[in-house]
């Protein structure tokens, strides 16, 4: 005796069983499927974010250490202050606009805006 069920047999069994369900039950099944897909997406995104953070940590730490080793003058040359180093890895961080060394701070700020 062959206990295997072929795909067409399985699909026809599913369709026939779905036809016997009430509309409320069909809606409930659809809502459960949508919820399960949403939970799966959330879990996949969380695992991906954790994996990326673990993989990126050594590179970020190396950049942080290299910037910390620069002098204040070297940091100023690239538009950073020592206090900016921890914030560099924030998504919305932007370095200050460069201005000429002989431009007063108020004029440089007005031109950058």
Its pTM stands at: 0.47
Same domain, 111 and 81: yes
In a domain, 34, yes or no: yes
Q: What is the mean pLDDT of residues 60-76?
A: 91
Same domain, 75 and 112: yes
**Span of 15-29, 36-50, 93-107 with lowest mean pLDDT:** 93-107
Same domain, 41 and 78: no
pLDDT for 96 equals 63
In a domain, 39, yes or no: yes
Q: What is the mean pLDDT of residues 43-61?
A: 94
Same domain, 113 and 89: yes
Same domain, 74 and 110: yes
Question: CA 90, CA 39: separation in Å to the nearest integer?
Answer: 27
Question: CA 11, CA 23: separation in Å to the nearest integer?
Answer: 20
Give the chain's domain count: 2
In a domain, 31, yes or no: yes
Q: What number of residues does the chain have?
A: 113
Confidence of residue 91 (pLDDT cuts 50, 70, 90): confident
- Domain extent, residue 84, equals 70-99+106-113
In a domain, 29, yes or no: yes
- DSSP label of 95: P
pLDDT for 101 equals 56
Between residues 35 and 108, the one the model is more confident about: 35
How many C-beta atoms surround the C-beta of residue 80 within 10 A? Answer: 19
Question: CA 109, CA 51: separation in Å to the nearest integer?
Answer: 40
Q: Are 75 and 67 in contact (CB under 8 A)?
A: yes
In a domain, 7, yes or no: no
Question: CA 31, CA 54: separation in Å to the nearest integer?
Answer: 35
Same domain, 74 and 111: yes
pLDDT of 18 above 90: no
pLDDT for 51 equals 96
Q: Are 66 and 58 in contact (CB under 8 A)?
A: no
């Amino acid at each position: 005796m062959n206990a295997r069920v072929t795909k067409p047999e399985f699909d026809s069994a599913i369709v026939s069983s779905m036809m016997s369900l009430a509309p409320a039950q069909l809606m409930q099944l659809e809502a459960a499927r949508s919820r399960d897909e949403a939970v799966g997406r959330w879990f996949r995104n969380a695992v991906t974010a954790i994996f990326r953070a673990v993989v990126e940590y050594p590179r970020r730490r190396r950049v942080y250490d290299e910037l910390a080793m620069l002098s204040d003058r070297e940091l100023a040359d690239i538009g950073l202050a020592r206090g900016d180093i921890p914030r560099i890895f924030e998504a919305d961080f932007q370095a200050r606009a460069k201005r000429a060394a002989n431009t007063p701070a108020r004029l440089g700020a007005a031109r950058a805006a």
